[in-house]
Amino acid sequence: MVNVLFVCLGNICRSPSAEGIFRACVEREGLSDHIVIDSAGTGNWHVGNPPDSRAQAAAKRRGIDISGLRARVAKAEDFHHFDYVLAMDDENHADLSRICPPGREDRLALFLDFAPVLGQRHVPDPYYGGAQGFEHMLDLIESGSGELLAHIRRKHL
Ligand code: 4NP
């Protein structure tokens, strides 16, 4: 079993979108029995809340339902359970490295580092912008998910 955790700041825009899109990708390839997926935030403002309505709508337009997800905070124990703890940007990465238990640093990475072909290392935070930001976020996440799954297949399955 391979365990994957996506992490952003609020766990209401980027990481739940990545959870939903990557899960759909994994299901499409018939790998649901091999890969466990979750998401979390480094901040606690939105704990217990569903994804931002704009993120839900954007995902729905691509056939993905993320309405059932609920925000939670990333914690040190996540580094024991998850093989991949994937940050959306440098700030998330820095916050995660502060709670990462010694010896588990190799589990922490930037999500888009698995998709070097994109030439972009961050999924920008769409929270304070317009609808276009959510579309761009999903484009990056869709490409990143395909590359991440290819990596996991090569390495683990
Ligand atoms: P996310 O977006 O990190 O992609 O979930 C944000 C959501 C909420 C806030 C910031 C970013 N906030 O400041 O409340």
CATH number at residue 44: 3.40.50.2300
Crossing angle of the two packed helices 131-156 and 14-28, in degrees rounded to 10? 50
pLDDT score of 116: 96
Q: Determine if residue 35 is left, alpha or beta; phi over 0 gives left, psi from -120 to 50 gives alpha, anything else beta.
A: beta
Residue range(s) defining the domain that contains residue 143: 2-156
Nearest CA to ligand 1 atom 14: 10
pLDDT score of 33: 98
Looking at the 3D structure of the chain, how many domains does it have?
A: 1
From the CA of 137, give the closest atom in ligand 1: 4
Reference 51, options 18, 96, 82; nearest CA is 18
pLDDT score of 73: 99
User: Active site includes 154?
Assistant: no
CB 38 within 8 Å of CB 5: yes
pLDDT score of 49: 98
The stretches in the chain having pLDDT less than 50 are none
CA of 16 to the centre of ligand 1 (A): 11
CA of 155 to the centre of ligand 1 (A): 32
Exposure string for 40-57, b = 16+ CB within 10 A, e = fewer: bbbbeebeeebbbebbbe
From the CA of 8, give the closest atom in ligand 1: 3
> Residues with Cβ within 6 A of ligand 1?
8-14, 45, 125, 127
pLDDT score of 153: 97
Catalytic option among 38, 78, 95, 125: 125
pTM of the model: 0.98
User: Active site includes 8?
Assistant: yes
